[in-house]
Amino acid sequence: MCGIAAFFSSRNNVSTHALERATESLHHRGPDSRGIWHSQDHRVGLGHARLSIIDLTTGDQPIANEDETIHLVVNGEFYDFERQRRELEQRGHRFHSRSDSEVALHLYEDYGAHCVTHLRGEFAFVLWDEKNQLLFAARDRFGIKPLHYAFHEGTLYLASEVKALFAAGVPAAWDHEYFHQHATGPAMPNRTLFKNVHQVPPGHYLMATKDGFQLLRYWEFDYTPAAELEATSRDERSYVEEFAAVFEEAVRLRMRADVPVGCYLSGGIDSCAVLGFAARNSQTPIQAFTLTFDQAAYDEGEVAREMAALAGANFYPIPIKQSHIADHFADAIWHSETLCSNGHGVSKYLLSRAVRDAGYKVVYTGEGSDEILGGYVHFRSDMLSHNTQGQDPAEVQRLLKQLEAANAVSRGLLLPAGKTGAMESVERVLGFVPTCLRVFAATGHQRIGLFSDDFKARNEGRDSARLFLDGLDVSGVLEGRDPLNKSLFVWAKSFLPTYILNLLGDRMEMAHSIEGRVPFLDHRVVECLCRVPVSLKIRGLTEKYLLREAARPVITDTVYRRQKHPFLSPPVTTAPSERFHQMMQDTLRGSSLTSLPFYNQKKVVALLDQLPTMSEAESVGWDPVLTSILSACILQERFGLSSGDGAGG
């Protein structure tokens, strides 16, 4: 993986110094080399910070085509590129490197913007097409790799991270409107917390000329309608075998590297399945890196150790304590550029650091499985509540109570804690209210009670859930689909790209120059699962049923039978003697919160004073809210954000 930056101006020369500053700010993403290119008229500039994974000697960027009329910078990996390279060479293309990145350049020559449909992997890239005077940028289908942009003083800026845009001279200010959206409802995949800074949404490309720019979608989830799934005569075994084959291929393709590849391993079925299939296709033992915690409810170390032994992997435990999270919380938030609801992002930050220190650059990860197979507890709640055909209502209620009782650690993050409101607009649009939207609404209701009177008044009446749904192709993608698939889609458009693939993925990995490879988010794996009946995703209280059956030959019996255990760090609110708790108390009672233009500090302090009198369940329910406010304070400090005028970007 790498860091990229690109500038395009229709009327002014772009600044070489600004481009160098932007590229330098991405050094953590690509410490191995750095490259800068300008067009002859200096209206276009491309910057690249390289982490060398494939083609260690000739893969530096920016790279150009044969007649140097197209220049390209890439962040990411393209899989199955050797086959594509052979086909391109047969059509007369000449390659200057052995890297996977160069295939995108020549595919663009042949297909133009539609080259993206031929790419398989996790990527963000920008190229300049001199003949057509066109800047073209694209992001992978799920948002695994970030790509931000801003238009400032006649120049279009693009970069892997927002800090690179700030380094280039884009003003650093809060977007008040979007802060309210992010705090009270689903995050949007095309926005950021920063004024006039946006994201190229997953599955989209951007085209810019001197006359302006536009965003176009090239890929979308395509769930088979419920009626068609009910009418199919396929047997369960055929679905299991198809998924196992497609997923193993995705794992195998991600083993291609010119450096050693390790594996993140928890006690969950996702990472265990990845390790199991990778081990089956590896000639040497794989290094398995596992986080361990000192609280039993959050620790999966022994389950992971057993799985590593079965796979013949080298087990590498990394113990994490609350004090470690306190020490590194601010750095992790600076890298993530977003709000954080739990210390798990910091834990991933420390995990990636340990992988780097062990001499590795590449790891397999299990992210994405829960989003496509219904792994989280709120998906199981929706399956029980809304895919109700043939179910006894009394039995449904019994199972729902059992589900909530078995998932106490998910309260406030994956299950609602507190009031949500009626949410009529969601009911009208989707036909029901997904539990994940109730979670966002519940935490939003908690935060609204802590907002300053001015900020609260300016946003009175905003319907965050409806505003989020307004940006989705509901009629085209969700009409006639199962409720569970609707819930999966909502989550995949909100929490997956904006939080999981950021705070638990790319940003925490690239903070230490680690490339994470995500086989569950191979688009052919996802397209396979879009054709699967929902009863194979969730069966009763058993989540990810299809994966369990497909991976059963390569995982332990413990993992096969184990319920989903969300990757969470112990809550900060329930450990008053820990340094992380004290850090939260000191920060939220101090000048950092005073300068934040959204919250009433007296209300926040009153809540902090009440924590010792609360039950554990109550304090756990407030934990995501207080951690989020703490992370906002860190962003304010680290980026020197101006409060702005309250207008949206």
Residue ranges making up the domain that contains 400:
221-642
Residue 493 lies in a domain: yes
CA 572 – CA 556 distance, rounded (Å): 32
CA 65 – CA 127 distance, rounded (Å): 11
In total, how many domains does the chain have?
2
pLDDT at residue 296 in the model: 73
Does 352 share its domain with 436? yes
Does 332 share its domain with 468? yes
For residues 462-479, average pLDDT: 95
Residue 624 lies in a domain: yes
Residue where a domain stops, chosen among 217, 238, 268: 217
Binning pLDDT at 50, 70 and 90, where does residue 648 land? Answer: very low
pLDDT at residue 385 in the model: 86
Does 204 share its domain with 177? yes
Residue 648 lies in a domain: no
Binning pLDDT at 50, 70 and 90, where does residue 105 land? Answer: very high
Name the pTM for this structure.
0.94
Residue 371 lies in a domain: yes
Residue where a domain stops, chosen among 217, 234, 249: 217
Q: Any idea of the CA torsion for 270, 273, 275, 276, to the nearest 10 degrees?
A: 170
Please check whether residue 370 is in contact with residue 538, taking contact to mean a CB–CB distance below 8 angstroms. Answer: no
Residue 504 lies in a domain: yes
pLDDT at residue 56 in the model: 60
Residue 148 lies in a domain: yes
- What would the pLDDT profile of 498-553 be if each residue is shown by its tens digit? 999 999 999 999 999 999 999 999 999 999 999 999 999 998 778 999 999 999 99
CA 149 – CA 120 distance, rounded (Å): 23
Q: What is the CATH number of the domain that holds 634?
A: 3.40.50.620
CA 491 – CA 434 distance, rounded (Å): 9
Which residues are within 8 A (CB) of 461 and not within 5 positions of it... i.e. 6 or more apart?
Answer: none
Percentage with pLDDT > 90 across the chain: 76
Does 179 share its domain with 279? no
pLDDT for 414 beyond 70: no
Does 207 share its domain with 327? no
CA 590 – CA 637 distance, rounded (Å): 12
pLDDT at residue 408 in the model: 61
pLDDT at residue 99 in the model: 85
Does 422 share its domain with 303? yes
Does 247 share its domain with 206? no
Residue 649 lies in a domain: no
For residues 83-94, average pLDDT: 91
C-alpha distance from residue 361 to each of 1, 47, 120, 260, 584 (Å): 9, 22, 21, 7, 33
Q: Write the single-letter amino acid at 403.
A: L
Does 8 share its domain with 75? yes
Binning pLDDT at 50, 70 and 90, where does residue 575 land? Answer: confident
Does 427 share its domain with 544? yes
- Average pLDDT over the chain, rounded to an integer: 91
pLDDT for 268 beyond 60: yes
**Pick the residue with more confidence: 609 or 31?**
609
pLDDT for 419 beyond 80: no
- What would the pLDDT profile of 229-262 be if each residue is shown by its tens digit? 888 878 999 999 999 999 999 999 999 888 888 9
Binning pLDDT at 50, 70 and 90, where does residue 57 land? Answer: low
Does 83 share its domain with 161? yes
Does 387 share its domain with 484? yes
Does 251 share its domain with 361? yes
| Strands of 63-64's sheet in order across | 63-64, 70-78, 121-129, 134-139, 204-209, 212-217
Binning pLDDT at 50, 70 and 90, where does residue 310 land? Answer: very high
Q: What is the CATH number of the domain that holds 94?
A: 3.60.20.10
Residue where a domain stops, chosen among 184, 217, 250: 217
**Pick the residue with more confidence: 2 or 339?**
339
Residue 545 lies in a domain: yes
pLDDT at residue 645 in the model: 61
